[in-house]
Amino acid sequence: MTYTLKQAADLLAAGKTSAVELASDYLARIEGAQGALNAFITVDRELTLAMARKADASRAAGNAGLLTGVPIAHKDIFCAEGWKTTCGSKMLEHFVSPYDAGVVERCTAAGLVTLGRTNMDEFAMGSSNENSAYGAVRNPWDRDAVPGGSSGGSAAAVAARLAPAATATDTGGSIRQPAAFCGVTGLKPTYGVVSRYGMVAYASSLDQGGPIAQTAEDCALMLNVMAGHDVRDSTSLEMAKEDYSRDLNQPLKGLRIGMPREYFGAGLAADVAAAIESALAEYRKLGAEVVEISLPRTELAIPAYYVIAPAEASSNLSRFDGVRYGHRAAEYTDLNDMYEKSRAEGFGWEVKRRILTGAYVLSHGYYDAYYLKAQKVRRLLSEDFQAGFGQCDVIAAPAAPTVAWNLGEKGDDPIAMYLADIYTLGVNLAGLPGIAHPVGFGANGRPVGLQLIGNYFSEARLLNAAHQFQQATDWHTRAPAL
């Protein structure tokens, strides 16, 4: 038996199950699916059961919160004390974190039990989860397909019902695209809503944590735990505590959904377009109005992102020097040789390409031409979104141009992979919130996701829209056969 986050919480509250029983059941499911899906990098039964026993004890003592004892999985990018935190990299193969990330701290304080650490593209760089040093994750709907990336393990785990929910991160689509590919619901909050403290940094002006779950309601419950000000993250926003589930039951009558024509032109696969058309028809039935809008510079999101993200990555990843933590080469002649060999051995090729691209665009003589130029284009893209929100409340878009592609299909071709990010990158560059939720199936029975983009701090509205859609449809209840 598997549950949504809400169902598990209700069963625990009613005394019909215990945290230990839930954790044991899910650990058995994880173990059974690991060979086929490879969704987890680390599972530690003793650590999990210790957390579950603690949750049961606090419930027995009358100290349970809403989610005390509910099990979840963490993306292997969030540092968690006592857990191996590899970030999908050989560089951190033996790194057992000495401290908790802000997100992990909040989840633990809420009584959530950690089932394990989900697989991911190395340092969150990738759109297929094939860049993990611990092997690719397989899509639970079709094991020949990728699960999407970089949070492919989190999305696959939730889709295969190996965890009711999972944490994830989104720098250029890494929550929304894998959620779409795996037929689950994922929310990328407004930049600064979720603390980045202890979340291994990729591109700091874009990185944002968020939840992946079966339902929008569960995403709201998870965001209630994950969001909040953290003084240890200088970009964490100081804002009043919000209940992200407050508007779930609001009717959608009068909601204006903008359809940017640039997102629905050539390049969008027919099966994805058809599923999205049906979803928008459903939204109309729920009382929403669909209006055409324009985001004229959409295509520039790709070059702008692939300058800014590598530039920030090359700076962030300079911390992996084989001195304070991480891999150190066995043999070297001097300090520079140690740095160069340790990093060459510890990083995979996609990470190396982004570091080198970043080092180049930041180097003397090229900074203005690339990095500064990309930041100016970023402002133009952001202004386009604001103009769009003048005509609508939320923007509807595909999460990706196609359904999940085959493992190995894009081979070692970074450009083919980058181009597939076209519909998600703009949201990160502008810092906006976005949600992806399942709306049907395309070719080969692979899921299609719809992305809804909101203006700053409109998470509750996005969750409301997706929840109302999920009250009227059952795509989110479909689960793959294991």
Tell me which of 144, 373, 409, 443 binds another protein, using CB under 8 A.
Answer: 373
Return all residues near 52 (Cβ < 8 A) that are at least 6 apart: 18, 19, 20, 22, 23, 24, 69, 71, 113
Which residues, 297 to 336, sit near another protein by CB under 8 A? 297, 300, 302-304, 306-307, 314, 318, 321-328, 332-336
The tally of CA atoms less than 13 A away on the side-chain side of residue 177 is 34
Binding of another protein at residue 281 (CB under 8 A)? no
Tell me which of 36, 57, 231, 270 binds another protein, using CB under 8 A.
Answer: 231
Nearer to another protein, 363 or 391 (CB): 363
Least Cβ distance, residue 333 to another protein (angstroms): 8
| Identity of the residue numbered 479 | A
Q: Is 75 a catalytic residue?
A: yes
Least Cβ distance, residue 364 to another protein (angstroms): 9
Which residues, 235 to 254, sit near another protein by CB under 8 A? 235, 237-238
Nearer to another protein, 106 or 188 (CB): 188
Considering the candidates 89, 128, 150, 154, report the single residue annotated as catalytic: 150
Closest by Cα among 209, 191, 192 to 200:
209
For 391, list phi and psi in degrees, rounded to 5: -110, -5
Return all residues near 41 (Cβ < 8 A) that are at least 6 apart: 76, 84, 86, 88, 116, 117, 118, 119, 120, 132, 134, 153
Tell me which of 273, 338, 443, 479 binds another protein, using CB under 8 A.
Answer: 338
Return all residues near 474 (Cβ < 8 A) that are at least 6 apart: none
Binding of another protein at residue 84 (CB under 8 A)? no
Least Cβ distance, residue 345 to another protein (angstroms): 8
Which residues, 168 to 207, sit near another protein by CB under 8 A? 190-192, 205-206
What's the N-to-C CA distance of the chain in angstroms?
13
Which residues, 395 to 414, sit near another protein by CB under 8 A? 414
Considering the candidates 75, 188, 341, 410, report the single residue annotated as catalytic: 75
**C-alpha to C-alpha distances, 217 to 42, 191, 213, 214, 453, nearest whole angstrom:** 28, 21, 9, 9, 17
Closest by Cα among 173, 203, 200, 215 to 75:
200
Binding of another protein at residue 234 (CB under 8 A)? yes
| Interacting span for another protein (CB under 8 A) from 212-220, 274-282, 352-360, 396-404 | 352-360
Least Cβ distance, residue 243 to another protein (angstroms): 22
For 432, list phi and psi in degrees, rounded to 5: -85, 160
Nearer to another protein, 162 or 206 (CB): 206
Degrees to nearest 5, angle at CA 244 with 201 and 260: 75
Catalytic residues: 75, 150, 174
